[in-house]
Amino acid sequence: MLTSDQGAGAGQAIEDGYILARALRDYLESSLADTDALGKWISVYQNVRLPRAQKVQRTSREAVEVYQAQADIMKDLSFDECVPEIHKRVVDRMKWVWTDDIDVEYDEAVKGWRGTYRALVADAQAA
C-alpha cells in the first residue's frame, strides 16, 4: 500500500493504465492472440510496473523519516541541526521519477519476453 507522504498515487494510476494499455494493444496486434499469450503480456505489464511501484513505496516511507526528522541520524538533533541533513536527503531523492523512462522499461521487458518465447518455440519445433 502506498503511503500518502509522496503524493504519487495519481501518477502511479496513470502509469499503470498506460503500460496496461500498451500490453493489451501489443497482445491484440500480435499473431499470438490466445489465452496463454494474454497471460504473458500481463506478465510484461507486471514486470514493468511492480519494481517501480515498490520503489515508490520504499521512497515514500523514507520521505516520512526525512520530512518528520525521524531518520536515525536526526533523532537526537535540534531542528536547526536537522535542516542540512533533510536538504541532503531531499535534493535528489525524486529525480528517478522524472528521468526513468517507462517506455524504455516496457520495450526491454517485451524484448526479453519475445526472446524467451522464440527460444521455447524453436526448442519445441526441434523436438
Which range of residues forms the domain containing residue 119?
A: 9-126
The model carries a pTM of: 0.73
- Provide the number of structural domains found in the chain: 1
pLDDT (tens place) for every residue of the chain, 127 residues total: 555 566 677 888 999 999 999 999 988 887 665 667 888 889 999 999 999 889 888 888 877 777 777 777 778 888 888 888 888 877 777 778 788 899 999 999 998 877 766 665 565 566 5
Q: How far apart are CA 72 and CA 19, in angstroms?
A: 37
Q: Is 1 within the bounds of a domain?
A: no
Q: Is 92 within the bounds of a domain?
A: yes
Q: Is 28 within the bounds of a domain?
A: yes
Q: Is 112 within the bounds of a domain?
A: yes
Q: Is 4 within the bounds of a domain?
A: no
Q: Is 3 within the bounds of a domain?
A: no
